[in-house]
Structure 1
Amino acid sequence: MSNAPQKIENPILPGFNPDPSICRVGDDYYIATSTFEWFPGVQIHHSKDLKHWRLVTRPLTRPEQLDMRGNPDSCGIWAPCLTYADGLFWLVYTDVKRKDGSFKDAHNYIVTAPNIEGPWSDPVYTNSSGFDPSLFHDDDGRKWHLNMIWDHRVGTNSFAGIALQEFDPAAGKLTGPIRNIFKGTPLGLVEGPHLYKRDGWYYLLTAEGGTGYDHAVTLARSRHIEGPYEVHPDTHVVTSRLDPDNPIQRSGHGDIVETQSGETYLVHLMGRPRLGQNRCQMGRETSIQKCVWGEDGWLRLEAGGVAPERQVKAPDLPAHPFPEEPDRHDFDAPDLPMVFQWLRTPCPDRIFSLNARPGHLRLFGRESVGSWFEQALVARRQTGYDYEAETLVDFQPENAQQTAGLIAYYGRSQFFCLAITEDHDLGRVLTLLTCPGDAADGTLRTPLDTPVLLPENGSVGMKVTVEGMALRFWYRTGEADWQRVGPAFDATLLADEAAGRGAHGNFTGAFVGMHAMDTSGQGKAADFDYFSYRNLE
């Protein structure tokens, strides 16, 4: 009798983990997801049963592979594609330098590695004609590069179709004609292509409808790789757009995998809006659905229809759980725990150290909160509606331009920060630096009438809680009890949909972590003794 788990609960990758690309190598499954402006680039999770997942690597770690200094919010790594062929892992990704207005500056690259944990090669540049690149390895040994085509011209369809061009791995470049093989369905906004071959058919899976509440997974097929492609008789394989009460929304941008025994699963991005609100604090997450191939050769959800399920039947595989991520990190190891990331820069030694003061994470105050170049912010994803996070910071500011503390962060105009700083009249104080998302330029609000006076020396405990829609900060010194500071903020403001542009303009998710700023340019250091996080649900 199989000891496989009976059900898989969605999302399988909670918290900001969008645009999943799935790959099976023997008994191992890997999912790559977008990381946008967060460094290192691309998250890769590993599983053996499609239910339990662990983060194993972020392969883009070097300046030669990725430098996002200057990238605006929600730019950077878009929609990676992970495949395995010829004894190598192949990772295709976009580094987006501009997304606003008529233009998209989107550069596509390929890196390879013999093992999932590396070493990963320097990148090979492919093109910049659009984003969401993928690589298809045909059974005749040829390799094909796909990406959506971006058309900036006035009066045209910006999402102009799916480009196909052969990739020559020996020459390290694209070669031959460029063909637009699929212009999408009337839903529009065709992107996220993945190509497969089955029973003599080429199947093209795409995303349509934009990454908001009209999102969908669309399937088409052709006997020839260059087309023409006929659309699925149901058009879409997965979408929540016609099911507004489904707890899984924004369903789209999928990829397919087949298990060792021939079962088929589709992974796709999803969002979990708070009940009664179209705001997804965890951003876009990864979900999985059980599928079947019909007698007509088309893929459909095993459950029927196109609406995603919160619980799906697990594959016939032995259960393989992994150790749980600890709630608390004491920064005793030489490397930053993998749960944390930072923003944009490939030069982490400029913003933090784990050996400058043993047992502490030292942040070197750099540019302002919301800088697109170099800010010292180390944070982890919010993975549940309600949570509690805590840290202990030792910081002795010398002027008001130096701050350090605990931050709940979405982007340069969406954050809430509790910080130690210097007040000319009072000395060392506690203040709040907030941007509630109503000013795209990141203009600060001052929710405290007067700062909170702190002792001249000593560490300060800081805590943030999110319960319901209320985000609250707390502090303490020494062995004192926790004290509330400031008002209750609207936690749902840290969401894709909350900054006035809707889900089509913002693509990441809420983080919580540690921040240091020194706009005087002196690089004042702050030491964090530990960081803890736990979901309250």
Structure 2
Amino acid sequence: MNTIKNPILKGFNPDPSIIRVEDDYYVATSTFEWFPGVQIHHSKDLIHWNLITHPLSSIKHLNMLGNVDSGGVWAPCLSYSDGTFYLIFTDVKNHYGAFKDTHNYLVTASDIQGPWSEPIYLNSSGFDPSLFHDEDGRKWLVNMVWDHRKNKNSFGGILLQEYDVQKQKLVGPIKNIFKGTELGLTEAPHLYKKGSYYYLMTAEGGTRYDHAVTMARATSIDGPYEVDPQNPMLTSKGKDHLTLQKAGHGSLVETQGGEWYMTHLVGRPLPNIKKCNLGRETAIQKCEWSEDGWLRISAGGNDPQVEVESIDVPEFQFEPAKTKDDFTDETLNIHFNSLRTPVTEEWASLKEREGFLRIYGRESFHSNFQQSLIARRQQSFQVMAETVVEFEPTTFQQMAGLVYYYNTKNYHYLHVSHDEDLGKCIGIMSNSKGYYDEPIDGMISIEDWQRCYLKITIQYEEVQFYYSKDGEHWLKVGPTLDASYVSDENADIVADGANLDQGFTGGFLGMAVQDLSGQKRYADFDYFIYEEEESR
């Protein structure tokens, strides 16, 4: 029997929703403010996974212009019924403070690759919506409800309402079917039917180190729900020795052979730091049903396992992703993403100069609107990224280079710019929690260089930038930097003595151009390399 090694989806791939269609498995994960929206990976053996599509690929599907950091697409739910794929998602406009503006939508497709329909608006009462297809043909939406009132439980329970396919809207009464357990922060509801019971799986404890998967069941879909007496059925809480932390937010699938597996969220903190620069990732556990009808981890207990027994099918491997992109294709590599809006010819072009990616400078890294940034996930603790840029800035307000990015307030940036005394120059800008140091160790003149090669190496918590004139002889630039700047925990906000979870994404490596003068000066990038080293 083959073995699954967790996490199955490394790097920023949280809130997994898994389905099986015949012999194919699909997992949808959250993308937050990164565009296009929702990642869908495919597998045939639960071991090897391949990114195949982003369903929310145009402005008609998703308009996130102005969305706050870690807003955008939260917790998609993928399901399949009667030849149709259903994808439910939340577009979060705001999640700071007492209020959360959370708009829930549905898109459908007859093929997982699309085309996907235009979004159908559902509601805005909370986040983590999920669609359940009952045996009698009726469809039900569940989502957590957000309560902004003081002296109330802000995670106000799980709402249930019927969805009418013909009318394409929610119909009938809204009922709060589950107020959660003593763990609190009840979210991520998924409904399942097995035997005479409806099972409600939720996430509780919050999406950090107290995260958990909890179960409840009822003989009627609207309750009352009894709680699993051994809750939580999965958690890493209080188990600092475990490799997989933050375990929670589960989703169930039944295999061709009648076995059960649960995908779930995990985090792998940097050694001895408890900060996750890889973001929240996706793992999977083999499960079974106890004699008294409750879901249990097959390995026993409720710890997330690193190694899990796979299904009894031949291994199915995919062609490895290429490490170097020469920008010779008509479209960008599927692993590249932009912030909040699609990549368009207006600001990023593969056509204007053959074999180059031309990016026009727009707003700063602090903008929630029009950033010119194209980047990909960091998916290993040990990585190297490299590019070369041709750029002729005429003012200090014009910058282009290689960035290690978390959000508008947390990043490291090796950039080419202009200085009145040095001319064309290169230096590092670092930002933590909105406070930036620039330039670190000063700017270095490269006045006579036509092109500048840029490189970053990340070894767990250590970040080092390099630059070169020829791509062969490399010089260090700046000191060793702290990778934990680019982590979920560093993005969190402390207010009134409380730590508020506000960082939900992960580290990205990519190319960026700014022109704060408004002249839209462009930079040409000849290639981009992303390579991972074996974990030590």
Q: How far, CA to CA, are the matches of 1:500 and 1:41 in structure 2?
A: 23
Q: How far, CA to CA, are the matches of 1:321 and 1:433 in structure 2?
A: 40
1:116 aligns with 2:112: yes
SS of the residue aligned with 1:498?
Answer: helix
Uncovered stretches (5+) of structure 1, i.e. residues with no partner: none
SS of the residue aligned with 2:228?
Answer: strand
Contact kept? 2:388, 2:451, Cα under 8 Å:
yes
- Residue aligning to 2:277: 281
- Residue aligning to 2:419: 423
Q: What does the per-residue CA deviation read over 1:25-54, in whole Å, with 9 as the maximum and x for residues that have no partner?
A: 010000000000000000000000111000
Contact kept? 1:66, 1:346, Cα under 8 Å:
no
- Residue aligning to 2:496: none
Runs of 4+, deviation exceeding 3 Å = none
Displacement of 1:67 in angstroms is 0.7
Q: What does the per-residue CA deviation read over 1:53-88, in whole Å, with 9 as the maximum and x for residues that have no partner?
A: 000000101111101110010000000000001211
Contact kept? 2:492, 2:501, Cα under 8 Å:
no
Q: What does the per-residue CA deviation read over 1:147-180, in whole Å, with 9 as the maximum and x for residues that have no partner?
A: 0000000110000000000001111110000000
Spell out the pairing of 1:121-160 with structure 2 (5 A cutoff).
121-160=117-156
Displacement of 1:10 in angstroms is 0.3
SS of the residue aligned with 2:484?
Answer: helix
- Residue aligning to 1:525: 522
- Residue aligning to 1:488: 480
Q: How far, CA to CA, are the matches of 1:297 and 1:52 in structure 2?
A: 31
Identify which of 464, 467, 474 aligns with 1:475: 467
Query: Once structures 1 and 2 are overlaid, which stretch shifts more, 449-458 or 221-230?
Result: 449-458
Q: How far, CA to CA, are the matches of 2:299 and 2:396 in structure 1?
A: 59
1:513 aligns with 2:513: no
Q: What TM-score do you get using the length of structure 1 for normalisation?
A: 0.97
Identify which of 383, 393, 405 aligns with 1:409: 405
Contact kept? 1:67, 1:346, Cα under 8 Å:
no
SS of the residue aligned with 1:167?
Answer: strand
Contact kept? 1:447, 1:487, Cα under 8 Å:
no
- Residue aligning to 2:160: 164
Displacement of 1:142 in angstroms is 0.4
Q: How far, CA to CA, are the matches of 1:365 and 1:349 in structure 2?
A: 13
Spell out the pairing of 1:280-429 with structure 2 (5 A cutoff).
280-346=276-342, 348-429=344-425
Q: What does the per-residue CA deviation read over 1:304-331, in whole Å, with 9 as the maximum and x for residues that have no partner?
A: 1001101011111211010111111111
Q: What does the per-residue CA deviation read over 1:396-423, in whole Å, with 9 as the maximum and x for residues that have no partner?
A: 1121111000000001111000011111
Q: How far, CA to CA, are the matches of 2:185 and 2:341 in structure 1?
A: 31
- Residue aligning to 1:51: 47
Contact kept? 2:422, 2:447, Cα under 8 Å:
no
Identify which of 504, 514, 518 aligns with 2:501: 504
SS of the residue aligned with 1:348?
Answer: coil
Spell out the pairing of 1:30-49 with structure 2 (5 A cutoff).
30-49=26-45
SS of the residue aligned with 1:119?
Answer: coil
Q: What does the per-residue CA deviation read over 1:260-310, in whole Å, with 9 as the maximum and x for residues that have no partner?
A: 000100000000012212111100000000001111111100011001101
Q: How far, CA to CA, are the matches of 1:148 and 1:454 in structure 2?
A: 54
Aligned amino acid, residue 381 of structure 2? Y
Q: How far, CA to CA, are the matches of 1:59 and 1:305 in structure 2?
A: 37
Q: What does the per-residue CA deviation read over 1:451-487, in whole Å, with 9 as the maximum and x for residues that have no partner?
A: 1110334111000011242101000012551000011
Identify which of 460, 463, 466 aligns with 2:455: 463
Displacement of 1:368 in angstroms is 0.6
Q: What does the per-residue CA deviation read over 1:80-103, in whole Å, with 9 as the maximum and x for residues that have no partner?
A: 000001211000000000001000
Contact kept? 2:34, 2:338, Cα under 8 Å:
yes
Aligned amino acid, residue 512 of structure 2? H
Aligned residues: 529
Displacement of 1:426 in angstroms is 1.7
Contact kept? 2:441, 2:478, Cα under 8 Å:
no
Uncovered stretches (5+) of structure 2, i.e. residues with no partner: 494-498
Aligned amino acid, residue 15 of structure 1? G
SS of the residue aligned with 1:126?
Answer: strand
Displacement of 1:22 in angstroms is 0.3
Displacement of 1:528 in angstroms is 0.7
1:179 aligns with 2:154: no
Q: How far, CA to CA, are the matches of 1:503 and 1:11 in structure 2?
A: 26
Aligned amino acid, residue 125 of structure 2? S
Q: How far, CA to CA, are the matches of 2:19 and 2:316 in structure 1?
A: 17
Aligned amino acid, residue 522 of structure 1? Q
Q: How far, CA to CA, are the matches of 1:67 and 1:489 in structure 2?
A: 34
Identify which of 91, 99, 123 aligns with 2:95: 99
Contact kept? 2:422, 2:444, Cα under 8 Å:
no
Q: How far, CA to CA, are the matches of 2:436 and 2:333 in structure 1?
A: 31
Of all paired residues, the percent bearing the same amino acid is 53
Q: How far, CA to CA, are the matches of 2:343 and 2:241 in structure 1?
A: 45
Q: How far, CA to CA, are the matches of 2:334 and 2:455 in structure 1?
A: 21
Contact kept? 2:39, 2:51, Cα under 8 Å:
yes
SS of the residue aligned with 1:400?
Answer: coil
- Residue aligning to 2:217: 221
